[in-house]
Amino acid sequence: MFRKLTAIEPVSLEDWAEEKLNTYAKEVTLYRDIPADEQEIIRRIGDSDAVLVSYTTRLGRSVLEKCPSIRYIGMCCSLYSEESANVDIACAREQGIRVIGIRDYGDRGVVEFVLSELVRFLHGFDRPLLYDLPTEITGLKAGIIGLGVSGTMIGEALQFMGAEVSYFSRTRKPQKEAEGFIYRPLKELLSESQAVFACLNKNVILLGGEEFKALGKGKLLFNTSIGPAHEVPALADWLSAGGGYFICDTEGALGDTEGILRDRSHVICPNVSAGRTRQAFGLLSKKVLDNIEIFLGEAEKKA
């Protein structure tokens, strides 16, 4: 059991999960706002031996070294890799702190967002009609960049609706190829696809000037990644040349820190995370609590 568990910011746990935290620690403190700076983060952590954090606050070396009581950090957000994490996992490891994150809890909402926007463009439902006549997904040439969980789910949904699905990934996926997915090198995929879906890890940028040249005009480009999968100036040039439409759910996925894309008519960005659904919060809550139980179980065995 933890002595003191602190959620230093809103972590999207459901009420039942917040109540359950009291069975894991003698003292539980849940903050409802994002800390303004590092000093406030350090103050909130204090002598806590367990910390919960979402994606909006960074726990870097300068924080971790000032909080020697921590032995567990639960990331209530996606952890894809050490490099992309908002917790300095290498520093945590040096200090004997266990960091556990979660994955794959908001993917269904992302798939629904993609299908919704795609159908609106193909049929002209409250979006510009992409072609001369309303068009079904059947026969659509769809390209998936990154065949992880969300990319696979999007591809499977499109395939179910009759699309011809191609993919590009760092590693080949023989099982999916046996099920009808077609592997293509990146530029070939961009050239051959009518709609492209970037489903990459955070901080992975694959689309630059040469890639947009291969993509060509009259296309739909979706980004379902947490951050941009593109170089912003290259995307701006593609849009200015009449390349097509760019669709994402949040400004983080747009990556437009300079404000050169946000107000363009060919950019669709509602700035609402498609993965933050009622079901996703429930799954997130379960996974966060499961991780705590795993850590405490391991600690009990070592004791």
Full 3-state SS string of the chain: CEEEEEECCCCCCCHHHHHHHCCCEEEEEECCCCCCCHHHHHHHHCCCCEEEECCCCCECHHHHCCCCCCCEEEEEEECCCCCCCCECHHHHHHCCCEEEEECCCCHHHHHHHHHHHHHHHHHCCCCCCCCCCCCCCCCCEEEEECCCHHHHHHHHHHHHCCCEEEEECCCCCHHHHHCCCEECCHHHHHHHCCEEEECCCCCCCCECHHHHHHHCCCEEEEECCCCCCECHHHHHHHHHCCCEEEEECCHHHHCCCCCCCCCCCCEECCCCCCCCCHHHHHHHHHHHHHHHHHHHHHHHHHC
Query: Residue 303: which of 71, 91, 47 has the closest Cα?
Result: 71
For the segment 240-244, the average pLDDT, to the nearest whole number, is: 91
Check pLDDT > 90 for residue 187: yes
Per-residue model confidence (pLDDT) at position 262: 87
Give residue limits of the domains in the chain.
2-103+278-302, 107-268
Distance between CA 17 and CA 284 in Å, rounded?
10
Beta bridge partners, 182, equal 166
Lowest average pLDDT, out of 73-87, 91-105, 241-255, goes to 73-87
How much of the chain exceeds pLDDT 70, in percent?
100
Q: What is the pLDDT of residues 135-156, one digit of tens each?
A: 999 999 999 999 998 999 999 9
Computed over every residue of the chain, the mean pLDDT equals 95
Q: Roughly how many angstroms between the first and final C-alpha of the chain, as a whole number?
A: 12
Which pLDDT belongs to residue 228? Answer: 95
Rounded to 5°, the CA angle 107-111-112 comes to 120
Q: Report the largest interatomic distance among the alpha carbons of the chain, rounded to a whole angstrom.
A: 70
Q: Closest Cα partner for 165 from 131, 192, 201? A: 192
For residue 7, pLDDT beyond 90: yes
Domain 2-103+278-302 has CATH 3.20.20.150: no
Would you state the pLDDT for residue 105? 86
- Report the distance separating Cα 117 and Cα 119, nearest Å: 6
User: In terms of pLDDT, which residue wins out, 199 or 81?
Assistant: 199
Taking 90 as the threshold, does the pLDDT of residue 226 lie above it? no
Confidence band, pLDDT 50/70/90 cuts, at residue 106: confident
pLDDT score of 32 more than 80: yes
pLDDT, residue 243, reads: 83
- In CATH, which superfamily holds the domain spanning 107-268? NAD(P)-binding Rossmann-like Domain (3.40.50.720)
pLDDT digits (tens, 9 = 90+) for 203-224: 899 999 999 999 999 999 999 9
Rounded to 10 deg, the angle between the 278-302 and 107-123 helix axes is: 160
pLDDT value at residue 302: 79
Global pTM? Answer: 0.84
Instruction: With a cut of 80, say whether residue 303 has pLDDT above it.
Output: no
Give the chain's radius of gyration (CA, Å): 21
Q: Are 228 and 251 in contact (CB under 8 A)?
A: no
Using pLDDT thresholds of 50, 70 and 90, give the confidence band for residue 261: very high
